[in-house]
Amino acid sequence: MLDELNLPKDLSTLDAASLEAVAKEVRDRIILTTLRNGGHLASNLGVVELTTALLSVFDALQDRILFDIGHQCYAYKILTDRRDRFDGLRLTKGISGFPDPKESVYDKLVAGHAGTALPEACGYAAADKAMGVKRENVTILGDGAMGNGHTLEALNNVCLYPKQIIVFNENDFSISPADGAFTRRFLSFDKGFDGKIDEEKLADLGLAYIGRVDGHDIRSLVEAFRLAKNYDGNVLVHVKTIKGKGYALAEEDPVSKHTVGGGESFSDRLGDALVTLAEKNDKVAVVTAGMKDGNGLAEFARRFPDRFFDAGIAEGFAVSFACALARAGMKPYVVIYATFFTRAQDQILIEAKNLPITFIANRAGLVNNDGETHQGVYAYPSFAANPELELLYPSGIEEYEKMVEWSSSYDSPLAIVLPKQFYSMESDFQKPNQQYVVKKAGSKVIIAALGALAVKISSQVSEILELSGIACDVLNVRSPRHMDEFDFGDKDVYTFEEGYTQNGFAAYLSSFVKLKGSFGLTKTVAHGALEEILFDQGLSVGRIVEKIKEDYED
């Protein structure tokens, strides 16, 4: 059926039975493509009927449909203008796994971090009001967005900016199971959809209420959305869905099947060292922000439930919470993806001063396939901006474990920055100011490599350069704060980092060491395989070898 339709326009002409047939094809397409390419599986399967019904009622070009969180958008992409490109999901030069206005006129925001959709909907509605324009602004909340600070800030403003339609997708999950006062409030609305609007239930938020609607019954969804569209005011449509719907493995375990693909990651072993530490020290606590399983913390949570705290998708709250734990005498470890840590920059800079908190920035540097919103490439400048924070980059799991063990007796702020990919490398780490030369070639050339991927690639570069008669040392910069203590002698120094050199490690090192060259990011990082990203950025082994050889040609 999909191939015969002029999408999304024709959806408004179909009856419920035909829309159900469309939804089935969309679900099959999502399953097959995601299992092949990797991506967000369970979160997208839960909103197939919801999205199909939305696009049959609203004009996706004239109206604005905003997904929060963006990992619910696969069905929307298929049913707007990317049906023929969906096989390239998350692949190099293919379509992104998140909404992006650069990709399509149907995407109304860049969404990859939670909580952005409703604030943007408020802005759109305010602009409509100021310019005398009538449009529908539809925000789809879900996967824990109701516990996000940005969403709550927007809810405080929604009443000021009509007209808005908020679709609350209740599926019992963030990425891990969802909890919190707002989540519980909506769970208490157990009445089924009766085809009417309740103007009292959410009057304190300036919202009328429609619900609870079966999120997999297209007839009910269409009826509810039409009711909301014709209502003269802001309205919340409460929809109940099953995360992973239509794929048994995802329905049974929506946490592990939230995303699929990607192979072994550092996250698989991240939590083990924290469990070992907690066994020895009853003051050790772990704080995360809605990503218990993604950060490999399930075993810690099981073993030490009274010392594990999931703040939901609220990174600023998580760091402030950890500050209080530290002031009360505990030893907190805050584990968050590097791309999301930037949301807690103020708390890290101001509140965490002089406190014994360890920040573990998972998935820092280059992150394949997820695209621009999930890159951890700002970890170095974000943490380095705090002069009182110690900064460590392990070259592999062995060094990470030693760093965690050392951190237990450190009484000031510390950040340990981890890659997404899993690496293993022997380490002699004892304390931060001891740098480690991975490869000693007795040469005049040295690459100062920041991070596990940079160390690995630089070591391969050194081996190839040796075949051309260029001896090259490789320095594992595991403690960038202490580079002023390292003696480079008269060596020609290159740097390599998974970040932008103009405001990163190269810029810092060049303030007291003359650099022969620097290797880092030169442009925005798109989605794709890691090897293709490296080549595109000029950071593949071959391109670095070529550049260094050019510098030493007669």
Pair 186, 296 in one domain: no
Contact 98, 73 (CB under 8 A): yes
- What is the average pLDDT value for the chain, to the nearest integer? 90
Residue numbers of the domain that contains 463: 436-551
Question: Based on the number of CB atoms within 10 Å of its own CB, is 471 exposed (0-12), middle (13-18) or buried (19 or more)?
Answer: middle
And the tokens for 430? 């004892």
Q: Under 8 Å CB-to-CB from 538, ≥6 apart: which residues?
A: 519, 522, 544, 547
Picking from 163, 162, 141, 137, the residue whose alpha carbon sits closest to that of residue 152 is 141
The residue assigned the tokens 């001063």 is 353
Assess contact for 388 and 399: CB atoms under 8 A: no
343 flagged as catalytic: yes
Over residues 513-554, the pLDDT tens digits come to 999 999 999 888 888 888 988 998 999 999 999 999 999 875
**Domain CATH number, residue 26:** 3.40.50.970
Angstrom distance (rounded) from CA 255 to CA 524? 30
**Strand partners of residue 39:** 260
Q: Is residue 514 flagged as an active site residue?
A: no
pLDDT, residue 110, reads 82
Share of the chain above pLDDT 70, in %: 95
The closest alpha carbon to 308, from 329, 324, 328, 322, belongs to: 322
* Helices and strands of the chain, counted as H and E runs: 20, 18
Shared domain check, 335 and 207: no
In a domain, residue 529? The reply is yes
What is the Cα–Cα distance from 127 to 150, expressed in whole angstroms? Answer: 19
Which one of 199, 222, 251 terminates a domain?
251
Question: In angstroms, rounded to a whole number, what is the distance separating the alpha carbons of residues 435 and 29?
Answer: 50
Residues 480 and 441 in one domain: yes
Query: Cβ–Cβ contacts within 10 Å for residue 64, how many?
Result: 24
Q: Is residue 29 part of a domain?
A: yes
199 CB neighbour count, 10 Å cutoff: 13
Residues contacting residue 131 through CB under 8 Å, at least 6 positions apart: none
Answer yes or no: do 111 and 246 share one domain: yes
The pTM score is 0.85
Do 203 and 91 belong to one domain? Answer: yes
Asked whether residue 440 falls in the same domain as residue 481, the answer is yes
Residue 232 class from Cβ within 10 Å (0-12 exposed, 13-18 middle, 19+ buried)?
Answer: exposed
Among candidate residues 67, 75, 43, the one with its CA nearest the CA of residue 243: 43
> 242-268: per-residue pLDDT in tens?
988 888 888 877 766 666 766 678 888
**Domain end position, chosen among 419, 448, 463:** 419
Q: Are residues 159 and 282 in the same domain?
A: no
Choose the final residue of a domain: 186, 220, 251.
Answer: 251
**257 in a structural domain:** no
Predicted pLDDT at 70: 78
Looking only at the bridges linking them, the beta strands covering 259-260 and 39-40 are antiparallel
CB 323 within 8 A of CB 302: no
Q: Is 307 exposed, middle or buried (0-12, 13-18, 19+ CB in 10 A)?
A: buried
Which one from 243, 292, 307, 456 is the annotated catalytic residue? 243
Same domain (yes/no): 368, 331: yes
27 is a catalytic site residue: no
For residue range 317-341, what is the model confidence (pLDDT) as tens digits? 999 999 999 999 999 999 999 999 9
Q: Is residue 114 part of a domain?
A: yes
Confidence of residue 419 (pLDDT cuts 50, 70, 90): very high
26 and 150: one domain? yes
Residue 256, domain member (yes or no): no
When mean pLDDT is compared over 118-127, 181-190, 520-529, the highest value belongs to 118-127
Rounded Cα distance between 169 and 24, Å, is 19
Strand boundaries in 182-317, DSSP class E? 208-214, 235-240, 259-260, 284-288, 308-310
Domain count for the chain? 3
How far apart CA 371 and CA 527 sit, in angstroms, is 4
Does residue 427 belong to any structural domain of this protein? Answer: no
* CATH code (residue 483): 3.40.50.920
Helix (H, G, I), strand (E, B), or coil: what is residue 167?
strand
Query: Could you tell me if residue 492 is inside a domain?
Result: yes
Mark 319-330 as b/e (b = at least 16 C-beta within 10 Å). bbbbbebbeeeb
Taking only the tens place, the pLDDT of each residue in 372-418 is 778 888 999 999 999 899 999 999 999 999 999 999 999 999 999 99
User: Is the pLDDT confidence value at 297 over 80?
Assistant: yes
How would residue 305 be classed by pLDDT, with cut points 50, 70 and 90?
Answer: very high
CA distances to 11, 297, 390, 414 from 479, in Å: 57, 25, 8, 11
Q: Are residues 244 and 376 in the same domain?
A: no
User: Among 315, 372, 399, 497, which one carries the catalytic annotation?
Assistant: 315
Same domain, 222 and 92: yes
Amino acid letter for position 486:
F
276 shares its domain with 202: no
- Active-site hit among 29, 257, 343, 478: 343
Please tell me what DSSP assigns to residue 520: E
Which DSSP helix (H) or strand (E) runs through 360?
strand 358-364
In a domain, 259, yes or no: no
